Amino acid sequence: MIRFLKIFLVLFLAFSTFLFSKDGNFVDIILSNLQRIYDHTHRNYNAWNTLAELCDNFGPRLSGSENLEKSVDWIENKLRLEGYDSVWSEQVMVPKWVRVHEDCEIVYPRRKVLPIMAYGGSVSTPDTGILAEVIVVNSFEDLEKNKGSVKGKIVVYNPPYEGYGKTVQYRWLGAVKAAQYGAVAALCRPVSPMSLNNPHTGVMHYEDTVTKIPFASITEEDALLLERFQRRGIVPKLFLKILTRDEGFSPSRNVIAQIRGSVFPNEIIAFGGHIDSWDAGSGAHDDAGGCVASWYVLKTFKELGIRPKRTLRLVFWVNEENGLEGGKKYAELHKYENHKLLFEFDSGIFPPNRIGFTGPDTLWEKIVDFKNYFSKFYPNVEIQKGGGGVDISPMMKLGYPGGSLGTDDKGKYFWFHHSHKDTPDKIDPKDLNDCVSIIAMFLYLYSEIL
């Protein structure tokens, strides 16, 4: 019996030593690869150069536009040349709304041409335009109080900026609310904390039961000017001419590239951004930056020769801005595949400060410990509950986990959002590299540890 116990003890200690060594080697490999990822993503500014090339060569990429389709062609060709395990595209029918002509001018009490951008989906004015008096309101409650004075006028919304989530309701519902009381058109200051004499576009909403009226963004400065006139007892008068076309739906496509997992190739981590933008600026922050950062994540793994356990799938979704058709098509085609995570980056290129996660508590308990791994590189990046994105929302509604990267924009993202100011010069190349790095680290840990 004593001899048996001695043999058992020796075998137990040997096995324990093996397990400890195995775990130790595993952790060493993880930490070594995180260091390699960090070093590789900071060796040059190639990611920013690719971003600038995309934005400069193709400009704004509104769904249905030639610019978008040319950029999709360019991306797919680049991905094929880079030699990933699989590269393909999937057709998506997207809405095609076209901005034709815009003209807005104060004609009383003095003449002043106003910068203007119709909201996406806006109907046209009559071909000859509209000449009408203005009523300025600061809220929907203010509109309700003055509903008897709205008929036949142009409603101008001048709400204070109280964060994007709260203030965007005026862009989304403004035309419907104004039309209910007989307005002939509506205008709204930008959903932005800093206008800089710059209108901002974006998607809007109509209801079939309410007359559809033209709706557009003017600058904060001009909304305030019109309000000052009104407070002095002056009723300003505007000439407004907006011509648009709704051309139905047009073919586009999502572009996908992937590296197959080394151990669990049928378990997928899909990540990316949306390649479409509004027809203003060149969509650098929203969301060329998110697309290029995600692209360079996959590129980093390939160039380093790191093949994670699970398949990494890069997706360039189309039509996030005015329809979500790319996200819906992806869910339709891939909902039965074994997705371990959907991850979207669409928060602007600034210093990364948080990774959000939505999923089962059993996964959260493991993910929250990831901070211990990358704290050496990004001690200020927190891991928080609550992550996702518009493009991945159809998959998340089916029960798949979702994640996203948040950035510390110090309030600046909405300075540029959906405007002519959203260009590559607003992006710091180092911030872009940091975003590439932290996404790559997180996805690598997710693949290897969970």
End-to-end CA distance of the chain: 42
The DSSP element (H or E) to which 385 belongs, if any, is strand 382-385
The partner residues of 407 in beta bridges, in order of sequence, read 352
The DSSP element (H or E) to which 241 belongs, if any, is strand 237-259
Q: Tell me the two tokens of residue 364.
A: 């959260």
Rounded to 10°, the helix 289-304/46-58 angle is 140
Q: Which of 241, 302, 249 is nearest to 92 (CA)?
A: 249
Q: Tell me the two tokens of residue 68.
A: 């978008």
Rounded distance, CA 170 to CA 187, Å?
10
Rounded distance, CA 345 to CA 440, Å?
12
353, 413 Cβ separation under 8 angstroms: no
The partner residues of 245 in beta bridges, in order of sequence, read 98
122, 244 Cβ separation under 8 angstroms: yes
116, 216 Cβ separation under 8 angstroms: yes
Q: Which residues contact 339 (CB under 8 A, 6 or more apart)?
A: 268, 269, 270, 395, 400, 401
197, 114 Cβ separation under 8 angstroms: no
The answer to whether 320 is a known catalytic residue is yes
Angle at alpha carbon of residue 386, lines to 39 and 202, rounded to 5°: 90
Q: Tell me the two tokens of residue 395.
A: 């998959």
Q: Which of 62, 77, 29, 38 is nearest to 277 (CA)?
A: 62
Q: Which of 259, 5, 218 is nearest to 113 (CA)?
A: 218
DSSP-assigned letter for residue 277: -
How far does CA 238 lie from the centroid of its chain? 34
Find the catalytic residue in 102, 320, 321, 344.
Answer: 320
The set of catalytic residues is 320
